[in-house]
């Protein structure tokens, strides 16, 4: 059976998951790997910088529109360098449950045999980690992701979310599901940030596997609808994302 390597990247909302994951996808694709990125945030904007700044229709939106007959072509969109872009999407505000939405989206991808048809080498899940309820925990259990990386800055709320995510994961990894791969520090330039994130990693019995500097070129690229890797491939920031891609996928 065809089985890609799968990593789920969790973290607090707004911490820089989508930026980091999209740049990782771009870096991996530049290295010649076939990548699929699955956004699991009701915002459904995970893959925006891979698709010229335009949001693609989410699986939940498509399923709501046509109850039957949605195909892979309706749900998977090719972005930068042929990266397969997918957004799980979210419920209509006030009705339904966001976590439940992820489960519905995953089930549809499975019914359509997405991995066997598209044969990605690598699948990256970009998952909102503020609430690790059953739905948002889905990517870390049941064989979805092999590994989990957590994006955190040194800010208290980001570290708090990192602890919650790691705690949820501990229960599942005991059953042979996803293992914690480490913390990716997305720097906010707060005081003692490196020390705070390193301390959090020690407490979670893991390591800081990459330190991403805060850089104006991230916003600049985003304004162009691009990742840093696409917009400024020769920049030091692009080199950081490339190095992180090699740490995660040597």
Nearer to Mg ion, 50 or 112 (CB): 50
Q: Is 74 one of the annotated active-site residues of the chain? A: no
Active-site residue, from 6, 41, 126, 130: 130
Site for ligand ADP contains 215 (CB under 6 A):
yes
Site for ligand ADP contains 11 (CB under 6 A):
yes
169: Cα within 13 Å, side-chain hemisphere? 28
Active-site residue, from 12, 48, 126, 226: 12
Exactly one of 87, 130, 222, 230 binds ligand ADP (CB under 6 A); that residue is 222
What is the rounded CA–CA span in Å between residue 244 and residue 250?
9
Is the Cβ–Cβ distance between 50 and 67 less than 8 Å?
no
Give start and end residues of each alpha helix (H) in the chain: 17-30, 59-65, 72-75, 98-111, 114-118, 134-137, 156-173, 193-203, 216-223, 228-231, 236-248
As measured in angstroms, the least distance from the Cβ of 4 to ligand ADP is: 22
Site for ligand ADP contains 179 (CB under 6 A):
no
Q: Is 12 one of the annotated active-site residues of the chain? A: yes
Site string for ligand ADP, 12-31 (x = CB under 6 A): -xxxxxxx------------
Exactly one of 18, 20, 47, 81 binds Mg ion (CB under 5 A); that residue is 18
One-character DSSP codes across 43-76:
T--TTGGGTTTPPPPPHHHHHHH-SS---HHHH-
From 10-18, 93-101, 171-179, 198-206, span contacting ligand ADP (CB under 6 A): 10-18
With CA atoms as reference, report the closest residue to 87 among 124, 134, 41, 144. 41
Is the Cβ–Cβ distance between 165 and 48 less than 8 Å?
no
* β partners of residue 39: 87, 126
Place of tokens 């490196």: 194
What is the rounded CA–CA span in Å between residue 125 and residue 144?
9
Residues 195-214 that bind ligand ADP (CB under 6 A): 212, 214
Nearer to Mg ion, 12 or 17 (CB): 17
As measured in angstroms, the least distance from the Cβ of 77 to ligand ADP is: 18
Q: Is 146 one of the annotated active-site residues of the chain? A: no
Residues near ligand ADP (CB under 6 A) are 11, 13-19, 186, 212, 214-215, 218-219, 222
| Residues recognised as catalytic | 12, 17, 43, 130
């Amino acid at each position: 059976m065809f089985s890609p390597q799968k990593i789920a990247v969790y973290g607090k909302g707004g911490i820089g998951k989508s930026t980091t994951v999209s740049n990782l996808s771009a870096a991996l694709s530049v290295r010649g790997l076939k990548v699929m990125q699955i956004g699991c945030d009701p915002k459904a904007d995970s893959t925006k910088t891979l698709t010229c700044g335009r949001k693609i229709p989410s699986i939940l939106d498509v399923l709501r529109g046509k109850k039957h007959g949605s195909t892979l072509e309706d749900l998977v969109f090719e972005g930068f360098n042929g990266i397969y872009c997918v957004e799980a999407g979210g419920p209509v505000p006030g009705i339904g449950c966001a976590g439940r939405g992820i489960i519905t989206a995953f089930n549809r991808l499975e019914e359509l045999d997405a991995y066997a048809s598209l044969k990605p080498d690598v699948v990256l899940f970009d998952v909102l980690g503020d609430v690790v309820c059953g739905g948002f925990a889905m990517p870390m259990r049941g064989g979805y992701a092999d590994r989990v990386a957590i994006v955190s800055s040194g800010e208290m709320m980001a570290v708090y979310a990192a602890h919650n995510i790691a705690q949820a994961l501990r229960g599942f990894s005991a059953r042979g599901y996803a293992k914690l791969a480490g913390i990716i520090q997305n720097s906010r330039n707060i005081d003692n940030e490196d020390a705070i994130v390193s301390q959090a990693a020690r407490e979670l019995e893991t390591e800081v596997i990459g330190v991403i500097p805060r850089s104006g070129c991230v916003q600049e690229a985003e304004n162009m609808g691009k990742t840093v890797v696409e917009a400024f491939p020769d920049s030091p920031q692009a080199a950081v994302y490339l190095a992180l891609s090699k740490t995660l996928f040597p």
